A and B are shown apart, each in its own frame.
Chain A
Amino acid sequence: MKNIITAFSVAAIILSTASCGKKNTGGIKNIKTGSGIEMVSLPGGEFTMGDGTDAHKVTLSPFYIDRYEVTQDMFKKIELPNPSHFKGDKNPVEMVAWVNAAVYCIERSLEEGLIPCYNEDTWECNFDASGYRLPTEAEWEYAARAGSRGKYFFGDEQKNLKNYTIYSKNSSGKTAPAGSRKPNPWGLYDMYGNVAEWCNDNFAADYYKSSPSKDPRGPENGKGRVLRGGSWNDPEDFFSSAARAMDASINDACILRDTIGFRCVRRAE
């Protein structure tokens, strides 16, 4: 498996300079969706999720993931209300409740003739549907690590964070246009910083102790949903591929935050 991860890393380095649509070795390739949104197709595989005593092996099925955080322009294109505090078409959408991120997934799915994953009455996710959804926590970490095993996808040197991340030291107190810093080895931008990203999973601090090793999808219940990646407002010590967070602003307008956005995934065909 170590060899596979290494192969991913090599392929990803190639990918980061590849033109859109060009196939890469290792099964990673850039694709464009029916509505022209850039995604990256990731092969399934095994990786080590978490760090320290939380570290555990997880195997994932292949999936597609947005190359960039969902921008305000993407919201506008499907005529959804843009709640963002820091307005800018290229900036990531923020002030998004988890439910509204799921609504975006539904509308984007319908726009492309796909079957929505979310039930609007229960917000349960049908992982077998062809449409877009929020990533599981495991998918998010797998994508963020991009085959790496250290604290960051670029190694263990915190001083390099500024090259890849919009965070408190370089954000000027607001979001930046999506993709303003370097991507990770698999070509994904802003996996750290800019806006923290909603995951599909309910949050439980001890979930790793009982989570399945194949395609974990989070605990059945939780007071909030998982957030990953940190935001423009977080200090450098916050960031790592394994750092977990949660937020309860699932559908409450009174506690929406301008630090939270999301990106979409869908199952690979």
Chain B
Amino acid sequence: MRRVYKIFALTVLTVSALSAGQNNPPAVNLSAIKYRLVYETFDNNSFDLCIINADGTGKKKITDTPSIHEMYPHVSPDGKKISYLEDTGSGRDRKRDLYVMNIDGSGRILVSKDSREQCWSPDGRFIAFVKSESSRRFSLESWSTKGLFFYDMKTGNIREHPNKTLMHLYALCWSPDGKYITATVLGGMGFRHTSIGIDVSGSRYFQLNVTGCRPEFSPDGNRIGWGRTDREFTIAAVNMNRPVPVAEKDKIPFLSVAKGYEVYHLDWSPDGKYIAFSFGPDGEQHVGGTAKGWNICIAEIATGKWAYVTTDGNQNKEPDWVPKGI
């Protein structure tokens, strides 16, 4: 365990280096967190979705389908719905479709075929998503996408973003003010690998000045967190109205793990005090990837202290907070 201390917004943060198999008592008091999380877990030869209290109690399966993978859950802002991805078939003939259902797993509705990497608009009216790029064969690559689309929960209609050149986007996140969608792009639109902001209503896109991938807004929209590499998270103040939304001086290393382990899928708690994330030995972080030994963890923003939420190591990934408290 090594600790690095950094100043962030006049608060001293502890940056903890995690290592697998640690049996330390929880450094952060999870029972004080009155929220639940949904996440994907591998059980009975397929990925299913679970809901769990932040303190690790009350685990319940939302889906239980041996021949279908349910993954990448995202809870609606009102906490009543879950959008998620459903994979069927295998190998090159595998299919990935976007669905929405009630938080209890009932009432599944197909949103769009061959679609992925979705996120909710802050008012819960729309689900933004991208479509799979290749019609020849399935690709597990997160970046293998084209276009940006919006599903209207009220009408069921789908419309494409005005900028038709968008491609190779993944890890969409809608800004709390509703004006922007952030995404990571790989080998598209002239970029090698970077994270960008996209005007929801216009065709403009711009770089965030974030190296790494999967940026996520804090609930108030004033901060952003992302994976600088597959072993470390960074947090920074963000202002999408500035020419450079994330300033170098504001980038704070928040959490890092030892070589041989990875952290991914950062997600801010509804009160902005914590992040949930996936942690485990070197594995495949992408949706549908094999990540044996991975668990869901929570870290406290103010202290950097962290704790396991799950401990079974069943490829637990993609945590997403249920916005409404228990």
Report the contact-size class of chain A (Cβ under 8 Å from the partner).
Answer: 20 to 34
Give B158-198 interface residues, CB cut-off 8 Å to A: 168, 170, 186-187, 190-193
**Beyond A81-B141, A85-B191, 5 extra complex contacts between A and B, CB < 8 Å:** A81-B139, A81-B144, A81-B168, A83-B168, A85-B187
A95 touches B134 (CB 8 A): no
Partner of A79, one of B134, B227, B230, B286: B134
B80 in contact (CB, < 8 A): no
Chain A residue at minimum C-beta to C-beta distance from B136: A79
Partner of A120, one of B92, B134, B142, B170: B92
Q: Majority SS of interface residues in chain B? A: loop
Docked complex Cα distance between A247 and B169 (Å): 24
Top-7 shortest CB links A-B: A83-B187, A79-B136, A85-B192, A81-B144, A81-B133, A95-B187, A254-B230
Tell me how far the C-beta of B89 lies from the nearest C-beta in chain A, rounded to whole angstroms.
13
B229 in contact (CB, < 8 A): yes
Could you write out 26 A-B pairs with CB less than 8 Å apart? A78-B136, A79-B134, A79-B137, A80-B137, A81-B133, A81-B139, A81-B143, A81-B144, A81-B168, A82-B187, A83-B143, A83-B168, A83-B186, A85-B191, A85-B192, A95-B186, A107-B92, A107-B137, A251-B284, A251-B286, A253-B170, A253-B193, A253-B213, A253-B286, A254-B229, A255-B230
A130 in contact (CB, < 8 A): no
Partner of A253, one of B92, B137, B142: B142
Docked complex Cα distance between A253 and B145 (Å): 13
Docked complex Cα distance between A256 and B188 (Å): 13
Docked complex Cα distance between A103 and B137 (Å): 10
B230 touches A81 (CB 8 A): no
Docked complex Cα distance between A45 and B168 (Å): 44
Q: Which residues of A contact B92 (CB under 8 A)?
A: 106-107, 120
Report the contact-size class of chain B (Cβ under 8 Å from the partner).
Answer: 20 to 34
A84 in contact (CB, < 8 A): yes
Chain A residue at minimum C-beta to C-beta distance from B188: A83
Give B184-225 interface residues, CB cut-off 8 Å to A: 186-187, 190-193, 212-213
Chain A residue at minimum C-beta to C-beta distance from B262: A252
Docked complex Cα distance between A103 and B142 (Å): 15
B→A interface (CB under 8 Å): 91-92, 133-137, 139, 141-144, 168, 170, 186-187, 190-193, 212-213, 227, 229-230, 284-286, 289
Q: Which residues of A contact B91 (CB under 8 A)?
A: 120
B227 touches A258 (CB 8 A): no
Give A67-105 interface residues, CB cut-off 8 Å to B: 78-85, 87, 95, 97, 100, 103
Chain B residue at minimum C-beta to C-beta distance from A111: B136
Q: Which residues of B contact A78 (CB under 8 A)?
A: 136
Contact with B along A232-269 (1 / 0, CB 8 A): 00000000000000000001111110100000000000
Chain A residue at minimum C-beta to C-beta distance from B227: A254
Chain A residue at minimum C-beta to C-beta distance from B289: A251
Docked complex Cα distance between A169 and B133 (Å): 36
A→B interface (CB under 8 Å): 78-85, 87, 95, 97, 100, 103, 106-107, 120, 251-256, 258
Tell me how far the C-beta of B169 lies from the nearest C-beta in chain A, rounded to whole angstroms.
12
Chain B residue at minimum C-beta to C-beta distance from A94: B187
Q: Which residues of A contact B227 (CB under 8 A)?
A: 254
Docked complex Cα distance between A256 and B135 (Å): 23
B230 touches A252 (CB 8 A): yes
Q: Which residues of B contact A255 (CB under 8 A)?
A: 229-230
With contacts A95-B186, A120-B91 taken as known, whether A254 is within 8 angstroms of B136 at the C-beta atoms is no
Tell me how far the C-beta of A191 lies from the nearest C-beta in chain B, rounded to whole angstroms.
24
Q: Which residues of B contact A254 (CB under 8 A)?
A: 193, 212-213, 227, 229-230
B212 touches A81 (CB 8 A): no
A253 touches B136 (CB 8 A): no
With contacts A79-B136, A95-B193, A256-B193 taken as known, whether A84 is within 8 angstroms of B187 at the C-beta atoms is yes
Docked complex Cα distance between A78 and B135 (Å): 10
B135 touches A79 (CB 8 A): yes
Docked complex Cα distance between A210 and B227 (Å): 39
Q: Which residues of B contact A107 (CB under 8 A)?
A: 92, 136-137
Docked complex Cα distance between A106 and B91 (Å): 12
Tell me how far the C-beta of A89 lies from the nearest C-beta in chain B, rounded to whole angstroms.
15
Chain B residue at minimum C-beta to C-beta distance from A83: B187
Q: Which residues of B contact A83 (CB under 8 A)?
A: 141, 143, 168, 186-187
A100 touches B137 (CB 8 A): no
Tell me how far the C-beta of B220 lies from the nearest C-beta in chain A, rounded to whole angstroms.
27
Chain B residue at minimum C-beta to C-beta distance from A258: B192
Docked complex Cα distance between A255 and B143 (Å): 13
Docked complex Cα distance between A80 and B135 (Å): 9
